[in-house]
Amino acid sequence: MTTSGPLHGRIASLLAFIFFFSGFASLMYQIAWQRLLTLYYGVGTISITLIVSVYMFGLGVGALIGGALAERIRDKLRLYFVVQLLLAVFGFVSLPFLDFLGRLTAGSNYVISLWYMGSFLILPTTLMGMTLPLVTKIFMRFAKDLLSTVSYLYFLNSIGAACGALFASYVFISFFGLHAAVYCAAAIDIVLAALILRVHFLPMPEARYQYALQLVHGHADTGTVLGKLAYPVVLITGFLAIGYEIVWLRVVGVLVKASPYAFSTVLAVYLVGIGVGSFGVARLWPRQTVVGKRNLFFLLQFLIGLYVATTFIGYYYLTTFTPLGGITRASFSTLLHPPFIVPSVASLGQFLSDTFVIIDVFAWPLVFAFVPTVLMGASFPLIAHLSQVEAHEEGRTVGRVYFFNIAGNVLGGILTGFVLLPIMGTAPTLIVFSAIGVLFGLFVTRIAGRQLRIGWRVGVAVTLLVLIVALFPKGDRLYETMHDSPGEGFVTFIEEGRDGVVVTQQKQDTIYNYINGLGHGGRPGYGFYYEAIEGLSFARQVENVLIIGFGTGSTTEMILKMNGVRKVTIVELNPALLRNLEKMPLFRELLHDDRVEVIIDDGRRWLLRTDERFDLIQIDALRATTSYSNNLYSRQFFELAGRHLNEGGVFMVWMDEYRVIPKTILAAFDHVRVYDFFCLASNVAFVRNDEVQRALLADFSPEERQTIAAQGRYLGDERFIEEVTVGYDINEDWKPVTEYYLGLRIENSFRLR
């Protein structure tokens, strides 16, 4: 970028500062709004994909509008001020608006939910999408060409967005809540609007169009400019970009146990890569000819496909056959990512292992995603430059390119999440994506001044495609490699679906079960038997039961032993879990019991849609530190569950946190019993029925009865909770204390001093 004079340099720097923090605030909004929308419309892949698609659609529409307005409106700084001010105003009113909208529409079917999500997101995302083409047009007064302008702005906005994503999740949400992140972003937008207004009253330089006139008048070889052909090309590359991101999120999610920090971290690494690539392309490549830029663009796509294939092939063989597999085992054996630990100095190996797992939530995205996203970031300014064929149309050009990129993103998200991964699986999907990247190499016609013959290009592409298909891990071996082997004699069942990867390991009656790398259930399930017996012993009657989260079915098995049970409704988010378990006779029999009704849905979303009431509700869907867990561990959810209990009904909650969760349950129920790994709650006083307990234990041997009895320990009632939870917060929908656990862990460390 070039400027004329110190004043213009300061103006350009101030605009750069504004655009950096505009990206910062936008990602704070995205992280918080996306998380808040799941409270009303669910956390399944369908809901998440709809939310992301609406978000991206708004950005694309905004890019088109912003590009058109940038060419028509003379006072572009005033328009930029209005856009930024409207974003701030919407940020401040977004939470009460979403709460109002959610209360009216929560639990709607997906088609209707799409319209409600759109009514919430379309305005702010359109405003966000308008900014890049608009600021590009403003910045052309300071820059000498479109390539350097777009690369610089894309860099600023992407790096700012990456910082905003990390700051939102690791700081604001962890310590202050989702609502605080939204209000912080709105406050930033207010400051930015004021700064834009300040710039508006400063003298701006005259626009420069010499580079564009050269392009139009033939001083460069216009035959090498893509023009409108750039739009289908960028549609494809946008498709691949989001497709890769979804695959990376799935793979990294397995390695880091569905951490709530995984999404923002992967997104941050993705955005940093985009920013670095965007910044570097205009500075590291000679800019004398358009010919070089066109070949560079297609070469970058070729290198992206080749790198992704090489990385996954290398990861599989190095993990399977070399000591580097210890890195994967270190991640897999750690529950929290990042963990709140100090590295052990007992041995060098342990110290290195502990140090790695502290940073692995960043390390794995860097390994898989950073290099290809750098190449993607370099591609966007290039394709914007290659599509420019008309003088004075920079804003419109960037807007159109951005729109087609976003359109590709939306298509890539929908097809990858709904079709490719569930039907083909991760490995074939990656092979297809990598193959498309390699085939882009056919359009690289010249390197270092040497013409590349078509026969040579075809030969290289075919050879690489054969090697990729031959070497890529077959079937489910990639995920089998990521999971620890429990020993000899175990049979591994793997099922991949819309909502992730399920791995079940079985050896006779012993079962280990994982969903997205995190343990869910397992057999023998004596602890779950103990929990179920306690709950059934205190329920006044047990005819109609709701179970949210099937696990490995031990609780369901025990409930079905209860006399008088006529219906057990199982609400399970992940159909791949049930498909995987039904490969074993035990689960086929359990799930096909005439009294069992299986519903595939988000548990909270389903409760919002039904009027049915139950004698017993049991949740054991996920750990409290897992992504989206707060939807089932907040005070508002517990109150929702309480409204679906019959008189004298009992609510059972498995827990792995012993202060916040019991206190939150007590905020929603009058009576609570706390055990060492679960709670019972009711709005009537508890009365134990010893006959129920004896009847349920009758089918077990004396040794098994002793084992079951030793699984749990009663700790206390409401008074006990009040005593041990003084000073602790409760989980609220807008303040997920246990899900975003770093704030709680840090506060606990100070309490122990």
* Residues whose CB is less than 8 angstroms from the CB of residue 137 and which lie 6 or more positions away in sequence, other chains included: 70, 71, 76, 394, 395
| Residues forming a β-bridge with 500 | 497
* pTM of the predicted protein model: 0.90
- Name the token pair of 83: 């856009």
Q: What is the DSSP string of 253-322?
A: HHHTTT-TTHHHHHHHHHHHHHHHHHHHHHHHS--S-HHHHHHHHHHHHHHHHHHHHHHHHHHHHHHHHS
Euclidean distance between CA atoms 502 and 418, whole angstroms: 17
What is the pLDDT, as a whole number, of residue 15? 85
What is the pLDDT, as a whole number, of residue 218? 38
- Only one residue has tokens 């959610």, namely 102
What is the pLDDT, as a whole number, of residue 206? 59
What is the pLDDT, as a whole number, of residue 286? 52
Euclidean distance between CA atoms 406 and 400, whole angstroms: 10
What is the pLDDT, as a whole number, of residue 216? 38
Which residues of the chain, if any, have pLDDT below 70?
1-8, 44-47, 142-147, 203-225, 285-291, 388-395, 752-753
* Residues whose CB is less than 8 angstroms from the CB of residue 533 and which lie 6 or more positions away in sequence, other chains included: 558, 692, 693, 696, 697, 708
CATH of domain 525-751: 3.40.50.150
SS3 of 347, please?
A: coil
Euclidean distance between CA atoms 52 and 413, whole angstroms: 8
Q: How many CB atoms lie within 10 A of CB 673?
A: 25
| Residues forming a β-bridge with 505 | 492, 512
Q: What are phi and psi of 295, to 5 degrees?
A: -65, -35
CA-nearest of 722, 738, 739, 623 to 677 is: 623
- Only one residue has tokens 């005819």, namely 543
Angle at alpha carbon of residue 453, lines to 449 and 457, rounded to 5°: 105
Helix segments in 73-177, DSSP class H? 76-105, 110-139, 146-167, 174-175
SS3 of 153, please?
A: helix
Domain boundaries, the chain: 1-208, 227-391+424-481, 525-751
CA-nearest of 558, 581, 576, 588 to 512 is: 581
User: Is it true that domain 1-208 has CATH number 1.20.1250.20?
Assistant: yes
CA-nearest of 510, 554, 514 to 535 is: 554
Q: What are phi and psi of 587, to 5 degrees?
A: -80, -30
Q: Which amino acid is at 719?
A: R
Euclidean distance between CA atoms 133 and 62, whole angstroms: 9
Euclidean distance between CA atoms 616 and 646, whole angstroms: 8
